[in-house]
Structure 1
Amino acid sequence: MSPQAKGVLAAIGACMIWGLSPIFYKQVSHVPAIEVLAHRTVWSLVFFGGVLALQGRLGQVLAAVNTRRKLATVGLASLMIGTNWFLFIWAVAAGRTTESSLGYYILPLVAVVIGRVIFGEAMMRSQWVAVALATGAVVLLTVGLQAPPWIALTLALSFGLYALIKKRLDIGPVVSVTAEVLLMLPIAVFVLLQSEHTGGSAFHAGAWTMGVLLISGPVTALPLILFSYAARRVRMTSLGLVQYLNPTLQFSCAVFVFKEPFTLWHMIAFGLIWLALAIYAASMFAQDRASRKAAVAAAASGTGMM
């Protein structure tokens, strides 16, 4: 099997774990979301720390925060991913997985806007159309449900900003996430101690609940490792398209497994989002094709000059 094929399979595996994770977190919906987040932080740190220890790279975690600027950057990334994780866990427990899937559908378009605003990246006309359709979908859903889809918007913005911050970190994904959860550890320990003090700790909720919480570490770490593997072997266009598997599976869990309400307003809004993503995907293919043609032309020109 070629490295490209292995990368695609790794990306599919990562997105399937992410997409089916609502079923996993639904198993602990009786535990407060903040406590689930605390357990996820602790057991993720244990798992990531074990992986890095086996690789002899634990020292890189301390190097990632050994200056004030690095510490501030990692701290901000930690805040964004912590917010994202907490809100996703809460949304699943609250029966609002449909809205969380919407957030991950609009995330690529939010990333495009962030790239335009922060880095001045050029946007094709088709990408502007996709962003306009997504904006229209959000406005329509706000009017129809008489409330803004704040869960979707917060999830998309928090992860979009997280990705922006990560661009400024010159360290690998496993090391950076380990540093991020390490900074979250004091709050996680405080939450767990407080829950134990009040007598409502999940440590006393039974073997099944504790088993799920313990596995939250590998469930967090494994897709990240798979996706990191894929990112080094797969073209960004292919990787971007595979990522749509995540919200599609989340959406399927919400509507077909959890039987969450899916109104006419949802149908219209999601239809607009899917149309926007189709246009965006087509623009990605066009950009990728143009860049490859330019690379081939440049190579041919260089060969001709020799």
Structure 2
Amino acid sequence: MNISHLSSADLNLLPVFQVLLEERSVTRAAGRLNLTQPAISRNLTRLRELFNDPLFTRTPKGLAPTPRAEALALQLHQSLQDLSQLISPATFNPATATQNFRLATTDYGTQVLLPPVLKRIRAEAPGVNLEIVPWHENLVQQLDHEDIDLSICAVEDAPAAIHGRGVGFDRFICVVREDHPLIKRGLSLESYATYPHALITMGGARKGAIDYLLEERGLSRRIALRVPHFVAALAMISQTDLILTVPYGLAVSFAEQYKLQMLPFPMEQKGFTYSIIWHERHMKDPGHVWLRQLVFEELTKTLEELNVGFRI
């Protein structure tokens, strides 16, 4: 492809050429293009210079294309169609779409928040493929490099190129095995700091948000178990004396299954907001807009249902 030659050519002449091929008349071509006859004649002169060929000869029945014009006609028509599609606004039809989307979240998000999302995607866009990838703490900075379409997380300080939308509120509560001694004694701040804990690390973090809250009060806790998965942590503490501090939505979803007791978190807390986040390069993509809205609607509904009757 000779880009310099292409950039020097006036491509606005090509639609005029196409209409002249179809109408075989300067007068009719001028009418279709809402131009004057002299303007069409000037464009025809420039077309002849561009292709170094007369292109049309006058006959009693109108303009007759030369062999060169006839040879160009089919390729010209296809090229103009391709250009028209290229500059047309992008569209997305879920019913016929075959796109692949990558969504990052935790195992909690995968097991509790995403099933309604997948159900709706399968109903509305059966040809769309969804890949779930693990969330990790550095993913916000790497969202574009890892080619992630959406991430479900609780994030406060996102880079300028990252956009987000809140989908629901949650707060921390504590879970212990069903016959844990703290159930009868009650969970105070002192006993919370004294008992051993399990920590969900999500990417290898040595501390969690709770540890920073404790440090503000001059306290610390012993982390006896570090595990990278939410649901695995629930299963593991069900056989121990460990305390696990988790979002209420997670606890209420699995407490009965793992025979766990929920206890109030013994410190004042502001709670946190779950968000869906994405890189700005996806902002105008119609398929991405559809996915964002679908995930927003389903996650908002699910989180509202999980927090109905919050009782801790």
**Which has the larger share of helix?**
1
Give the greater-gyration-radius structure (CA): 2
**Which has the larger share of strand?**
2
Q: TM-score range by the shorter chain?
A: under 0.3
TM superposition score normalised by structure 2: 0.24
| Larger RCO (CA under 8 A, 6+ residues apart) | 1
